[in-house]
Amino acid sequence: MRCVKEWHTYFINGYKFHTHEWSKGKKTSNCGVYVKGLTEGSYDDFYGIIHKIYELEYNSTTSPNRVVLFYCEWFDPSRAGTRVDPRFNIV
């Protein structure tokens, strides 16, 4: 691996993301994320707040590659509350 950078703001694919801490006190907030996922044969909606943004840069055979990771706090807005997978104990 070549390097890891931490960002409070990140632009990717025409979208701008902020960490929750960076968004505090601002007029607009871009720290929310939504992911549509497939779990156990059904589609579920996942919502979260970005707490950290990491950019990993690593070398490949031809050129450096980058991967962006969002560290998020996930929650479930349904009436049932947050779902925890009993097998893996994750939200």
DSSP string, 35-78: EEEEETTEEEEEEEEEEEEEEEEEE-SSSEEEEEEEEEEEE--S
Q: What are the pLDDT digits (tens) for 43-62?
A: 878 889 999 999 999 887 77
| pTM for this prediction | 0.72
pLDDT band at 42 (very low <50, low <70, confident <90, very high): confident
Q: Which band of pLDDT confidence, cut at 50, 70 and 90, is reported for residue 76?
A: low
Residues found in the chain: 91
- pLDDT, tens digit (0-9, with 9 covering 90-100), for 18-37: 999 999 988 888 898 888 88
Token pair belonging to 73: 């706090």
| DSSP assignment of 2-38 | -EEEEESEEEETTEEEE-HHHHTT-SS---EEEEEEE
